[in-house]
Homo-oligomer: A and B are copies of this chain.
Amino acid sequence: MTDTATNMRLKLPIACFILEIILIILFGVLVQYDDETDARKWHNKSNSDYDNDFYYRYPSFQDVHVMIFIGFGFLMTFLQRYGFSSVGFNFLIAAFALQWATLMQGFFHGMHGGKIHIGVESMINADFCTGAVLISFGAVLGKTSPVQLLVMAIFEVILFSVNEFILLSLLGTRDAGGSMTIHTFGAYFGLTVTRILYRPNLDKSKHRNCSVYHSDLFAMIGTLYLWMFWPSFNSAVTAHGDDQHRTAMNTYYSLAACTLSTYGMSSLTAHDGKLDMVHIQNAALAGGVAAGTAGEMMLTPFGSMIVGFLAGIISVLGFKYLSPILEEKLKIQDTCGVHNLHGMPGVLGAIVGAITAALATTEIYGNGMKDVFPLVAEGEREAVQQGGIQAISLAVTLGIALLGGLIVGFILKLPIFGAPSDTICFEDSVYWEVPGEEPSHEDQLTQVRTEEADKLNS
């Protein structure tokens, strides 16, 4: 299954090598250790070892890292013949995006004398930006070449960083777990891209656009790692102390409640009451997305569970009723249903965050206000204004995602990137050397024969 169009022999090596060489040069020119990773600077400060940010954030970083590479990668292995590409392209574009994001975010987050300073917090932020790219990947899964994906990542990382800069730095928005910056942005960017890349004859590949028994089990590995480590995701870059602690706990309860509503809805919406793996694999995670903004706030476990409960219901309903409409009417072919897992729950999370922010009082937050809402604590802004800013931030995010997706979608339509034709979508063998499914019968016969011979000889 090789033809000229999809042959990557020149395109992919050129893309990988040129991108990596540019990255290396830019790192050489622009990037320095920060005060916590530089041997001289750290020892000048006479800190105690346990003050090093490494001990506050590295366990969370590793959990996030697992979500990015195992979580997203294996979640997408549900397709019967696209496991290599799901895990493998996820791996490739994540490894690229995290380097590129280090530069882009470093540039926007503020340079230090012309240099970008990096440490564990920038590593987490780079993984976060990568997460948005992988969400968009989920929308176009099976229909794009690895070169297209790298090109998408180049532009999406820039746009993500611009949006993040506007929200966090210019507007003073709070979004620790990225309901807006990561999930809403990644989803609507990806949905716009897949709309532009609409394939009217994609049903020629529909026999491959579904799962088999074992591929669904592989996908559950991805689901569970995302589910378990989401508390670390949302709490990874919040302030030290009670903030990380509270955020992790809020997310934990949101996810637990979401899981029960997902199972309930999945069974309720099936005519025979049978559970659908697509819902379990995806909708049960919506509670983590929806707690992304308000998780660090005093949402209370009670509030978190309500949010998670609603997120699960919305997500299953989206898979069941909205996705088919989006595909038929709006021509949005959303392979993984990212609109249901990241899009709607992300918007829900943004709204919950705006409301929770607007209700913040000194009575509730005490001196902790300065960690969660520094501008409110400093008297620069009322809580209600903060809530309004949060809502505006959602609109900004949607705007940049849709406009950015539109432009990038048209760029990806250029015929030079080796996209697969409609008949060979969702198929690993287009871009991978693929072994057989099972030991062949011939092999097994050979095996038995040689074994028999072996026994006679021994």
Contact = CB atoms under 8 A, between A and B. Distances in A.
Given A433-B275, A447-B208, A366 B91 contact: no
Given A16-B263, A24-B305, 12 more contacts: A2-B274, A13-B268, A14-B264, A27-B253, A28-B302, A40-B366, A52-B245, A87-B217, A91-B284, A213-B434, A275-B432, A277-B433
A204 B1 CA distance: 30
Most chain B CB within 10 A, of A259, A270, A458, is at A259
29 contacts: A8-B275, A9-B271, A10-B273, A13-B264, A14-B264, A16-B261, A16-B263, A17-B264, A20-B309, A23-B305, A24-B257, A24-B302, A24-B305, A38-B298, A39-B368, A40-B367, A43-B242, A49-B241, A50-B50, A50-B51, A55-B56, A58-B245, A58-B248, A88-B220, A88-B280, A95-B259, A275-B433, A277-B432, A424-B450
Nearest to A267: B12
Q: Which 9 pairs of residues, A with B, have the shortest CB-CB distance?
A: A39-B368, A40-B366, A9-B273, A16-B264, A43-B367, A95-B259, A42-B242, A49-B240, A54-B245
Contact of A274 (B39, B66, B372, B432): B432
A433 B211 CA distance: 11
Interface stretch (A177-185, A221-229, A340-348, A382-390): A221-229
A417 interface: no
Contacts of A59: 58-59, 62
B454 A424 contact: yes
Most chain B CB within 10 A, of A214, A260, A277, A435, is at A260
Interface string A359-381: 00001111111011000000000
Interface in A24-73: 24, 27-28, 31-33, 36-44, 47, 49-56, 58-59, 62-63, 65-66, 69-70, 73
Interface string A99-120: 1000000000000000000111
Contacts of A454: 3, 421, 423-424
B212 A437 contact: yes
Nearest to A449: B423
A329 interface: no
B242 A37 contact: yes
A92 B123 CA distance: 33
Nearest to A227: B69
A369 B268 CA distance: 55
A412 interface: no
B305 A42 contact: no
Contacts of A95: 255-256, 259-260, 284
A247 to B, nearest CB: 9
Contact of A260 (B96, B241, B433): B96
A36 B65 CA distance: 26
Contact of A273 (B7, B17, B31): B7
Contacts of A224: 69-70, 73, 87, 91
Contacts of A301: 27, 31, 33, 118
A80 B253 contact: no
A298 B242 contact: no
A300 B267 CA distance: 51
A155 interface: no
Contacts of A292: none
A252 interface: yes
A269 to B, nearest CB: 9
Given A221-B221, A421-B458, A438 B212 contact: yes
A46 B212 CA distance: 56
A42 B211 CA distance: 48
A203 B195 CA distance: 51
A276 interface: yes
Given A242-B43, A371-B39, A451-B1, A305 B123 contact: no
A54 to B, nearest CB: 4
A42 B368 contact: yes
A143 interface: no
Contacts of A7: 272-273
B84 A216 contact: yes
Given A96-B260, A273-B12, A450-B423, A436 B267 contact: no
Contact of A92 (B27, B120, B259): B259
